[in-house]
């Protein structure tokens, strides 16, 4: 039986992963907040470092928008500790060594490079709304400029919410 693909408007599948401190993290821990759930291939590689630095740079802006950032890779918690320390990162990184959450969210895929096929992480991001629904998907992304694009999309959703609230209030 084929796995059901996640889609905009659908309920985001809950998960249970360890962060860099080996604390167990569940999506349900963030009910009532926006969640930027981004998937990346490997700690301390060029593209992943660019992306992690960008999310760290804009962390305060995301926090102001009631959003949390969670990065996910197959790397170990120990690798995440080293990556965070060496790069001065401020974001939370989750470890998915058996790829279960990566598979559930469609980020673990068959890839091809120079004619060689292999399984790996496709850099992608899921924006989850405060009710736990998938608000937006980026199925393949370039690291450079991606954090800014996610922040802008979040702000767009918040502007739409505010407009709808004002209309409901008769303003």
Measured distance CA(147)–CA(143) in Å, rounded: 8
Catalytic residue among 48, 67, 141, 151: 48
CB 111 within 8 Å of CB 122 = yes
Terminal CA-to-CA distance of the chain, rounded, Å?
Answer: 50
Got the DSSP string for 91-144? SEEEE-TT-HHHHHTT-EEEEEETTEEEEEEPPEEEEE-TTSBEEEEESS--ST
77 is catalytic: no
User: Coil, helix or strand for 38?
Assistant: strand
Provide the annotated active-site residues: 48
């Amino acid at each position: 039986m084929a796995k059901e693909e996640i889609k905009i408007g659908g309920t985001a599948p809950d998960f249970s992963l360890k962060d860099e401190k080996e604390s167990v993290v569940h999506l349900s821990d963030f009910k009532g907040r926006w969640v930027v759930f981004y998937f990346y291939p490997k700690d301390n590689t060029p593209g992943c470092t660019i992306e992690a630095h960008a999310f760290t740079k804009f962390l305060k802006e995301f926090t102001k928008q009631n959003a949390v950032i969670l990065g996910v890779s197959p790397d170990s918690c120990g690798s995440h500790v080293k990556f965070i320390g060496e790069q001065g990162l401020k974001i939370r990184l989750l470890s998915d060594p058996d790829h279960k959450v990566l598979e559930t969210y469609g980020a673990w895929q068959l890839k091809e490079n120079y004619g060689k096929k292999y399984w790996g992480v496709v850099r992608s991001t899921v924006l989850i709304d405060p009710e736990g629904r998938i608000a937006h998907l980026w199925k393949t992304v370039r690291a450079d400029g991606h954090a800014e694009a996610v922040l802008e999309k979040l702000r767009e959703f918040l502007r739409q919410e505010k407009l709808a609230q004002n209309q409901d209030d008769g303003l």
